[in-house]
């Protein structure tokens, strides 16, 4: 049983408990949150509360998440954009809102479920819940992912992630104006001690390095090309927020006032070696929502 603790703030006063929990437990459906409440696995100041309970602010919420059961992941006919495929691997352009692999509360509507429907064999190195998954991107981040079909390819790709030879580049829209045209954030990261669902800058954490370069400047926003040297969870989101430029639409590390459906972050470039020694390189443009947001920024004043 994994336990998570959340401290509500004055701004949460009056919010329904089930709504709040769905916001902070982003990978869980509202129906699963309801089940946790019904089973007494969510308490507010050590008391069981109904889903309709209105928060009073500055309360302590404790969530006890049951262990994932060992199960067979069910294939599901969900649309996926396959950019490339051979006998060892495939590259997909993940849509916004799709979780990469099954987890508590979502066993059926993930990229893995879709892959199992469309692909006959996937690498088994990462176990039953994450077949073929070499690396991940967040639910609301779009873009390129490589998936292993053979164990040989999985091991080779994992080694490239570990030694930082895999080429990964993102397009990110950040709040504010950057003083310089390019730079690097070199700041160690670890899981937050206050909120286990968040990451943060921590001097005792693992080394994390993010390189960025300005593509375009807009009124109030800056479009960046971001290259990962390391690959920590939420690295770009945390690093950009740490220097005062959170991603537009990042409701976890930025502001909740943005009118977007999640962070404006796209995995645009992916390069790696395949079995046999050949190097492949892929590039995909930002998706429609991102593109339309940039068009609106231009209409409101154009690039600066």
pLDDT on residue 121: 81
Residue of 290, 283, 254 whose CA lies nearest to 269: 283
- For 25, 140, 246, 252, 298, the CA distances from 196, given in Å and listed in that order, are 11, 19, 20, 12, 38
- Rg (C-alpha) for the chain, rounded Å, is 20
- d(Cα 268, Cα 230) in Å, to the nearest integer? 16
Distance CA 282, CA 284 (A): 7
In angstroms, rounded to a whole number, what is the distance separating the alpha carbons of residues 82 and 277? 22
Interhelix angle 17-24/30-38, rounded to 10 degrees, is 120
d(Cα 11, Cα 5) in Å, to the nearest integer? 18
Are the C-beta atoms of residues 22 and 35 closer than 8 Å to each other? no
- On whether the CB atoms of residues 218 and 303 are closer than 8 A, the answer is yes
Q: What phi and psi, each to the nearest 5 degrees, are found at residue 47?
A: -120, 140
Helices (H) and strands (E) in the chain, counts: 6, 15
What is the C-alpha separation between 25 and 11, in angstroms, rounded?
A: 18
What length does the chain have?
A: 304
Question: For residue 4, what pLDDT is reported?
Answer: 83
* pLDDT number for residue 14: 93
* Contact of 154 with 272, CB cutoff 8 Å: no
Structure tokens at 87: 């006998």
Gap between the Cα atoms of 71 and 120, Å rounded: 18
Two structure tokens written together for 193 = 């001690």
Measured CA to CA, the distance from residue 290 to residue 161 in angstroms comes to 27
Q: What is the mean pLDDT, run by run of 10 residues, along the chain of 304 residues? A: 80 90 74 80 89 90 71 83 95 94 76 88 70 89 95 92 93 97 96 79 93 96 96 94 97 87 95 95 96 91 64
Tell how strand 60-65 and strand 42-44 pair up: antiparallel
Place of tokens 């920590």: 232
Helix (H, G, I), strand (E, B) or coil at 290: helix
CA–CA gap between residue 141 and residue 267 (Å, rounded): 7
Active site residues: 138
- Structure tokens belonging to residue 30: 């509202």
Evaluate whether 50 touches 30 at the Cβ level (below 8 Å): no
DSSP 180-198: SSEEEEE--EEE-SS-TT-
């Amino acid at each position: 049983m994994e336990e998570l603790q959340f401290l509500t703030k004055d701004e949460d006063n009056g919010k329904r408990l089930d709504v709040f929990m769905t916001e902070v437990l982003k990978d869980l459906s509202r129906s699963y949150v309801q089940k946790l409440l019904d089973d007494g696995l969510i308490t507010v100041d050590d008391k069981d509360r109904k889903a309709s309970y209105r928060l009073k602010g500055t309360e302590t919420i404790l969530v006890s998440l049951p262990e994932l059961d060992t199960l067979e992941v069910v294939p599901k006919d969900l649309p996926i954009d396959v950019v490339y495929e051979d006998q060892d691997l495939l590259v997909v352009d993940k849509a916004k809102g799709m979780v990469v692999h099954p987890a508590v509360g979502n066993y059926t509507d993930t990229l893995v479920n879709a892959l199992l429907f469309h692909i006959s064999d996937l690498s088994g190195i990462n176990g039953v819940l994450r077949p073929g998954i070499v690396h991940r991107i967040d639910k609301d981040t779009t873009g390129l992912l490589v998936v292993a079909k053979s164990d040989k390819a999985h091991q080779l790709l994992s080694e490239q992630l570990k030694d930082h030879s895999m080429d990964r580049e993102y397009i990110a829209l950040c709040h504010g104006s950057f003083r310089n045209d390019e730079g690097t954030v070199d700041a160690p990261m670890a899981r937050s001690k206050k909120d286990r669902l968040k990451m943060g800058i921590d001097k005792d954490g693992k080394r994390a390095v993010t390189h960025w370069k300005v593509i375009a400047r807009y009124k109030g926003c800056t479009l960046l090309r971001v290259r990962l040297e390391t690959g920590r969870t939420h690295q770009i989101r945390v690093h950009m927020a740490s220097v005062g430029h959170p991603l537009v639409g990042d409701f976890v590390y930025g502001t909740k006032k943005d009118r977007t459906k999640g962070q404006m972050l796209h995995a645009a470039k992916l390069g790696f070696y395949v079995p046999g020694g050949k190097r492949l390189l892929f590039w995909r443009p930002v998706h429609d929502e991102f593109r339309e947001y940039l068009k609106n920024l231009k209409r409101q004043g154009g690039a600066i």
